């Protein structure tokens, strides 16, 4: 055993250095590998990548997998022309092999000469086994070897983010580029999703790869049947990548829920959903909660809520506590009535610290005047939307330095 192992190592190093040294076929299996390799090249290519992940799960001992592995691996690396299948066979020999086989191996080995020259054809078939780890924590090890992963990176998909999610990494490794990925990409292109969006979208939702294309088609046609234009469908899909993972029934339920809860016309519901398609994907409970908060806690009328939602759909998904904090400050401290807030609902979407420090600055200057009928009226929009410099120069009529100095007294 020991002798055999050393011989193998020696042989391997020799052959890698000078490929024209002929290596006689040691085992019968190796001859079969050679005869197979050409014909099965394309067939095995399909399974080759799949092998990486499969082996990770069963992690069989070397001696057992050796012959199979060489068969599977040889053809799949189109880029690596040199096949060293015979050598690979050899390298497995010193492993735990039954006694009968070792005797055969020894016999065969005695008959061969490592210094025999081999033809170019044989040399080209020498396969260098890729040193891929059977198990790994990152996709980095596989990126250069796998056609799918390489293409996904070129597409702009962030593999470093995806591999952090459970099960996504092995799912990606199992994918076949031609069979699984290309049809989906073509489908998305047909939908009208922009090229730049593709990578971001699939980074967010890699499970689109596992969906059946017919289902996706059915969902898109459902959306189109609800009179969403094809452009808006494309925008929705790229904004909320999980949209297409929802079944038609669920989508229908959700669209119905929004139309019913908001009491809006079909056209306006469509408008709201197009602008914030995340509404359809997220949980419905916070939406219900926010509507209740607006109605009962804030005391908005029904038509005011409708107006707010059509203007700023994001109010439905923001944190309830933040919403209450802002409303409390605007209504109780600043003294702005409901009608004005409903007119400028953007303020409910702004940052609380932002509103507070600006209001307090204006109050300090004696300019906090939010009544539209009085002179020096400052609209909520101007209070929130302007950047700091223009706010100071146009609204507060003070310098930016003063504003910053004032912030340090809060």
Partner 1 sequence: MTTPAARLFSKLDGLFAVYKPQGVHWKLVRDTVETNLLKVVNSCPAPPPRCMVQFQLLQSGDCSSSNQLTVTKSSLPALTDHPLVTGPRFHKIRVGVGHRLDAFSSGVLVLGLGNGNTALESLYRSHVTREYILEGEFGKSTDDFTHTGRVIERSTFDHVTNDKLERVLAMIQGANQKALITYSQMDLSTQEAYELAVKGLLRPQDKSPPILTGLRCLSYKPPQFILEVQCVNETQRYLRKLVHEVGLELRTNAVCTKVRRTRDGPFKMEDALTRHHWTTEDIIPAIASFRRTTRKIRKNDSYRKVVKQSDSTTQTQAQTRTSTCKLESVNQEKAGSLNPSETSVDAKQF
Note the residues at the interface with partner 1 (CB under 8 A): 79-82, 120-121, 124, 139-141, 143-144, 149-150, 153, 156-161, 352-353, 357, 388, 404, 407-410
Q: Please state whether beta strands 116-117 and 83-84 pair in parallel, antiparallel, or not at all (unpaired).
A: unpaired
Closest approach of partner 1 to the CB of residue 407, in Å: 5
For the bound state, the minimum distance from the C-beta of residue 353 to partner 1, rounded and expressed in Å, comes to: 6
Closest distance of CB 41 from partner 1, Å: 12
Smallest CA-to-CA distance from 219 within 286, 281, 156 is with: 281
- Of 99 and 410, which has the nearer Cβ to partner 1? 410
DSSP 128: P
Closer Cβ to partner 1, 125 or 343, answer by number: 125
How far apart CA 155 and CA 169 sit, in angstroms, is: 17
Decide whether 148 or 269 has the Cβ nearer to partner 1: 148
Nearer to partner 1, 54 or 388 (CB): 388
Shortest gap between Cβ of 197 and partner 1 (angstroms)? 15
Q: Is 190 or 404 the residue whose CB approaches partner 1 more closely?
A: 404
Nearer to partner 1, 103 or 119 (CB): 119
CA distance 294 to 309: 11
CB of 50 to partner 1, least distance (A): 20
* Residue 98, burial from CB neighbour count under 10 angstroms (0-12, 13-18, 19+): exposed
Q: What angle do CA 20, 24, 30 make, to 5 degrees?
A: 115
Q: Which residues have C-beta within 8 Å of that of residue 121, sequence separation ≥ 6?
A: none
Q: What is the dihedral sign for C-alpha 62, 64, 66, 72?
A: negative
Smallest distance from partner 1 to CB 251, Å: 31
Q: Which two tokens stand for residue 80?
A: 């690596």
Half-sphere exposure of 331 (CA within 13 A, CB side): 18
Contact partners, residue 153, CB within 8 Å, separation at least 6: 143, 159
Record the tokens describing residue 141, joined without a space: 């090890």
> Which residue in this structure is represented by tokens 């939908």?
191
Which residue number, 124 or 213, has a Cβ lying nearer to partner 1?
124
Residue 405 Cβ vs partner 1, minimum distance, rounded to whole Å: 9
Report the chain's terminal Cα–Cα distance, integer Å: 82
Nearer to partner 1, 112 or 385 (CB): 385
Token pair, residue 256, equals 């119905």
Least distance to partner 1, CB of residue 80, Å: 7
């Amino acid at each position: 055993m020991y002798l055999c192992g050393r011989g193998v190592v020696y042989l391997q190093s020799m052959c890698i250095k000078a490929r024209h040294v002929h290596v006689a076929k040691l085992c019968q299996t190796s001859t079969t590998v050679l005869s197979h390799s050409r014909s099965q090249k394309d067939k095995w290519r399909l399974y080759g990548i799949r092998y990486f992940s499969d082996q990770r799960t069963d992690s069989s001992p070397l001696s057992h997998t050796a012959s199979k592995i060489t068969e599977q691996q040889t053809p799949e690396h189109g880029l690596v022309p040199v096949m060293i299948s015979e050598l690979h066979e050899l390298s497995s020999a010193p492993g735990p092999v039954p006694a009968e086989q070792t005797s055969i191996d020894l016999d065969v080995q005695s008959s061969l000469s490592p210094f025999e020259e081999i033809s170019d054809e044989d040399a080209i078939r020498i396969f260098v086994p890729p040193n891929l780890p059977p198990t790994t924590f990152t996709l980095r090890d596989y990126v250069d070897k796998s056609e799918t992963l390489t293409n996904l990176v070129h597409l702009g998909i962030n593999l470093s983010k995806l591999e952090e999610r459970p099960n996504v990494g092995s799912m990606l490794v199992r994918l076949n580029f031609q069979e699984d990925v290309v049809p989906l990409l073509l489908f998305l292109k047909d939908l009208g999703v922009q090229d730049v969006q593709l990578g971001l979208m699939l980074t967010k939702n890699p499970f689109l790869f596992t969906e059946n294309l017919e289902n996706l088609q059915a969902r898109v046609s459902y959306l189109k049947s609800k009179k969403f234009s094809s452009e808006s469908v494309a925008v929705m899909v790229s904004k909320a990548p999980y949209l297409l993972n929802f079944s038609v029934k669920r989508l229908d339920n959700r669209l119905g829920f929004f139309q019913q809860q908001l009491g809006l016309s079909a056209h306006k519901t469509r408008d709201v959903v197009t602008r914030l398609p995340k509404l359809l994907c997220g949980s419905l409970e916070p939406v219900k909660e926010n509507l209740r908060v607006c109605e009962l806690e804030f005391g908005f009328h029904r038509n005011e809520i409708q107006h707010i939602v059509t203007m700023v759909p994001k109010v439905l998904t923001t944190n309830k506590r933040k919403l209450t904090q802002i409303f409390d400050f605007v209504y109780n401290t600043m003294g702005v009535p409901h009608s004005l807030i409903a007119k400028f609902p953007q303020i409910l979407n702004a940052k609380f610290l932002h509103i507070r420090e600006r209001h307090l600055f204006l109050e300090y200057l004696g300019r906090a005047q939010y009544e539209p009928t009085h002179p020096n009226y400052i609209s909520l929009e101007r209070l929130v939307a302007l950047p700091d410099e223009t706010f100071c120069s146009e609204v507060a009529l003070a310098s930016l330095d003063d504003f910053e100095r004032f912030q340090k007294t809060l």
